[in-house]
Amino acid sequence: MKSFKEPSLEMATRAVKRALANGFDEAIAVVRVSRSTMVKLANSQVSISQGWEGFQVEVYLAKGKRVAIAGARLGSPSEVERIVNESRRYIESIGESRLYAPLPQPSGRPLAGLVNGATLRYVEEAPRLAEEMMSGAVEYGAERVAGMVSAGLYGRAVVGSNGAELYEEKTRVEAYLRAFRGEFSGHWAYGSRRADPKRLREVGAKAATYASMCRTSVSVEPGRYRAVLSPLVVGNLMEYVADAASAFSVLTGFSMFMKRRPGEKVASDALTLIDDPHHEELPGSTGFDDEGVATLRKAIIERGVFKSLLHNSKTAALMGGSSTGNAGLITPHPWNLVVQPGSLREEEIFRELRRGLFVLNNWYTRLHNYIEGEFSTVTRDALMYVENGEVVGCVHRMRIADRFPRLLGRIAGLTREVYDVEWWEVRTPTRTPFILVDEAVFTKPTV
pLDDT in tens, 265-285: 999 999 999 999 999 999 999
Residue 266 in any domain: the answer is no
Residue 332 CB neighbours (<10 A): 27
| 362: nearest Cα among 306, 435, 299, 416 | 435
Q: What is the pLDDT of residues 140-188, one digit of tens each?
A: 999 999 999 999 999 999 999 999 999 999 999 999 999 999 999 999 9
The distance from CA 379 to its chain's CA centroid, rounded to whole angstroms, is: 19
Domain at 178, CATH number: 3.30.2290.10
Question: How far is residue 226's CA from residue 313's CA, in Å, rounded to a whole number?
Answer: 42
Rounded percentage of the chain residues whose pLDDT exceeds 70: 100
34 and 116, same domain (yes or no): yes
Distances, alpha carbon 133 to alpha carbons 47, 143, 148, 395, 438, in Å: 14, 13, 9, 26, 34
**Torsion 91-92-97-101 (CA) sign:** positive
The pLDDT value recorded for residue 97 is 95
Q: What does residue 153 show for φ and ψ, rounded to 5 degrees? A: -110, 130
Asked whether 380 and 426 are in contact (CB, 8 A), the reply is: no
In a domain, 376, yes or no: yes
Whether 76 and 224 map to the same domain: the answer is: no
Residues 104, 227, single domain; the answer is no
Q: Is residue 354 part of a domain?
A: yes
| Domain span including residue 369 | 214-237+341-443
Q: Is residue 197 part of a domain?
A: yes
338-382 per-position pLDDT tens digit? 999 999 999 999 999 999 999 999 999 999 999 999 999 999 999
Res. 88 pLDDT band, cuts 50 70 90: confident
| Residue 322 domain flag | no
Q: Is residue 213 scored above 80 in pLDDT? A: yes
Q: Note whether 231 and 152 are same-domain residues.
A: no
Q: Is the pTM value of this prediction over 0.85?
A: yes
Q: Are residues 84 and 219 in the same domain?
A: no
Residue 374 lies in a domain: yes
The domain total for the chain is: 2
Indicate whether 171 and 226 sit together in one domain: no
Single-letter residue type at 107: S
Question: Could you tell me which residues come within 8 angstroms of residue 76 by beta carbon, excluding any fewer than 6 positions away?
Answer: none
Spatial CA neighbour of 147 closest among 173, 177, 127, 126? 177
One domain for residues 218 and 107: no
197/218 same-domain check? no
If asked whether residues 128 and 228 sit together in one domain, one would say no
Residue 120 and residue 225 share a domain: no
Under the banding of pLDDT at 50, 70 and 90, the label for residue 79 is: confident
Q: What is the pLDDT of residues 42-57, one digit of tens each?
A: 999 999 999 999 999 9
Cβ contacts of 34 within 8 Å, gap of 6 or more: 52, 53, 54, 152, 153, 154, 155
What's the CA angle centered on 332, arms 246 and 378, to 5 degrees? Answer: 55
Same domain, yes or no: 153 and 220: no
Does 317 map to a domain? no
Helix (H) or strand (E) segment spanning residue 249: helix 247-251
Residue 267 lies in a domain: no
Q: 220 and 184, same structural domain?
A: no
pLDDT at 1 over 80: no
pLDDT of 250 reads 98
How many whole angstroms separate alpha carbon 413 and alpha carbon 432?
Answer: 12
